[in-house]
Amino acid sequence: MYSQSVNLIPQEEVHEQVKEQVVKMSTVFSVLLFLIVGGISFYFYNTVNSLKSDIKKTDSEIESFRKEISSMANVEISARNLSTKYNILKDLMKSREKYSILLANLKEKTPSTIVVANMTDSANNSLAISGTGETYTSIADFANSLTDGETVFSNVSLNSVSYENKSSRVSYSIVVTYIPEKLR
């Protein structure tokens, strides 16, 4: 015996059932696709809103920093002015002549028998020095010692020497040329 099944469902009914199953499957697929797209959309929506809030926060921080920077404009201007003044003073200090070196050198070269009464800065890097000494020899030794050894003086010219009867001392007047490069 053959076992054959006889399908008594009309063909139209079979087509209707297949259609219903296809519609159910497509509906389930559409709902699933809708939920997936909705989830992705929700994720992107939240991400965009989060980024927007971060941008607003960063913009407000930037604005507060700009206000701080603009409030420090006076400090920056003062710092630049101070820097300029410092550089000018530094250049002046490098190029100016240090007369204290000249005076220290003169004091070192002046013996105890010599009195410097007057000293005047003259033209062409020279000093006019006048005073008194005990003897003619002490004045000559003083004039010679000014150009001996390590010194800032390059030339000594004895202008006048005279004996004073009242004080029993010898008065002198000399012109000393100094080297300005050694005063820096």
pLDDT at residue 1, as a whole number: 52
Quick: pLDDT tens for 118-136: 999 887 888 999 999 999 9
Domain ranges of the chain: 11-96, 99-183
- pLDDT-based confidence at residue 17 (cuts at 50, 70, 90): confident
Is the pLDDT at 90 greater than 80, yes or no?
Answer: yes
Look at the alpha carbons of 55, 58, 60, 65 in this order and tell me if their dihedral is positive or negative.
negative
* pLDDT confidence bin for 141, thresholds 50/70/90: very high
pTM above 0.85, yes or no: no
Cβ pair 156, 146 in contact under 8 A: yes
The burial class, CB within 10 Å (0-12 / 13-18 / 19+), for 107 is: exposed
**pLDDT at residue number 6:** 67
The CATH number given to 99-183 is 3.30.1360.100
pLDDT of residue 150: 81
Across the chain, where does the E strand assignment appear? 114-122, 126-133, 153-164, 169-178
End-to-end CA distance of the chain: 134
The mean pLDDT of 51-75, rounded to a whole number, is 91
Bigger pLDDT: 180 vs 8: 180
| DSSP class of 8 | -
pLDDT value of position 14: 80
